[in-house]
């Protein structure tokens, strides 16, 4: 009798172990599907700019000595912008993986805001949009230049991707109160805007709006995720304000630490 009870318990245990193995196996399969989907979307993303770069280089190889200097320079510039796009995608993919984050430790520096943003924007290719800066000249921020560059490139690239050609993108900076140790940087576009119920998921990994999943605009859904990681790592916050009305656009805002001007540190001490 005792022996029978023991063997029933053993059976039960082996059944449980088998069930656990099955669950682990299904889990593993789901992970593999996710990984494949991710690799597919990243390869697809990389392919378009790569084809473009290759196209311009082939044109240069074939016609390089038959075209005028201006056309040649324009082809080289286009190839170079294609490389920038490749670089941004790779930085986003790497930055959003644990390994990538360990490679580049945060390096906070004092940076003059206006000239830093101007310099970053000068190297961004705007094919069909106008960029306007409204940034006070005297602000000094504390930030990691590379990460700030990547955040701005992602936000500007999105503004271009999702808003109609020939519209304006404005980057402004604001300090509400002289003694406030943060500066708010906002990027306003004139695109379709984002509905309130879609905003909470926007900064999650791989998140894309439904209307863009099937559309022709490419994306990995990593740009805003990585921007949030970087801004928060530098001690700031990032959010979006939008009425969700087409044409009224979206306003992506983030805060960064700034140096307080000497006069405002303690007026009444």
Which residue ranges make up the site for ligand ADP (CB under 6 A)?
A: 154, 158-159, 162, 189, 191-192, 194, 202, 207-209, 212, 219-225, 250
For ligand ADP, the closer of residues 223 and 236 by Cβ is 223
Separation in Å, CA 219 to CA 85, 139, 172, 208: 12, 33, 25, 8
Q: Left (φ > 0), alpha (ψ -120 to 50) or beta: where does 107 sit? A: beta
Q: Left (φ > 0), alpha (ψ -120 to 50) or beta: where does 262 sit? A: alpha
For ligand ADP, the closer of residues 21 and 201 by Cβ is 201
Q: To the nearest whole angstrom, how small is the minimum distance from the Cβ of residue 209 to ligand ADP? A: 3
The residue at minimum Cβ distance from ligand ADP is: 219
Query: What's the CA gap between 167 and 165, in Å, rounded?
Result: 6
Which three-class secondary structure state does DSSP give residue 111? strand
Contacts of 100 (CB under 8 A, 6+ apart): 93, 94
Q: To the nearest whole angstrom, how small is the minimum distance from the Cβ of residue 152 to ligand ADP? A: 12
For ligand ADP, the closer of residues 52 and 241 by Cβ is 241
Q: To the nearest whole angstrom, how small is the minimum distance from the Cβ of residue 206 to ligand ADP? A: 8
For ligand ADP, the closer of residues 170 and 180 by Cβ is 170
Query: What's the CA gap between 209 and 200, in Å, rounded?
Result: 11
Q: To the nearest whole angstrom, how small is the minimum distance from the Cβ of residue 224 to ligand ADP? A: 3
For ligand ADP, the closer of residues 161 and 257 by Cβ is 161
Q: To the nearest whole angstrom, how small is the minimum distance from the Cβ of residue 213 to ligand ADP? A: 8
Length of the chain measured in residues: 269
């Amino acid at each position: 009798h005792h022996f029978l009870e023991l063997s029933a318990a053993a059976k039960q245990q082996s059944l449980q172990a088998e069930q656990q193995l099955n669950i682990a196996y299904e889990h593993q399969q789901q992970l593999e599907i996710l990984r494949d989907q991710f690799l597919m979307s990243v390869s697809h993303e990389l392919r378009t700019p790569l084809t473009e770069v290759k196209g311009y280089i082939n044109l240069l190889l074939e016609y390089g000595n038959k075209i005028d200097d201006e056309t040649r320079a324009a082809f080289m510039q286009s190839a170079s912008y294609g490389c920038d796009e490749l670089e941004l995608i790779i930085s986003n993919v790497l930055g959003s993986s644990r390994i990538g984050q360990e490679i580049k430790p945060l390096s906070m520096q004092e940076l003059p805001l206006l000239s830093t943003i101007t310099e970053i924007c000068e190297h961004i290719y705007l094919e069909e949009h106008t960029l306007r800066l409204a940034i006070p000249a005297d602000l000094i921020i504390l930030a990691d230049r590379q990460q700030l560059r990547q955040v701005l490139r992602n936000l500007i690239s999105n503004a271009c991707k999702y808003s109609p050609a020939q519209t304006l993108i404005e980057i402004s900076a604001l300090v509400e109160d002289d003694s406030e140790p943060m500066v708010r940087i906002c990027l306003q576009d004139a695109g379709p805007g984002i509905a309130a119920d879609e905003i909470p998921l926007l900064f999650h990994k791989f998140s894309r709006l439904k209307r863009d999943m099937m559309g022709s605009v490419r994306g990995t859904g990593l740009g805003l995720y990585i921007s949030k990681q970087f801004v928060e790592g530098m001690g700031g916050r990032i959010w979006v304000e939008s009425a969700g009305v087409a044409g009224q656009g979206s306003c992506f805002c983030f805060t960064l630490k700034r140096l307080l001007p000497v006069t405002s540190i303690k007026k009444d001490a």
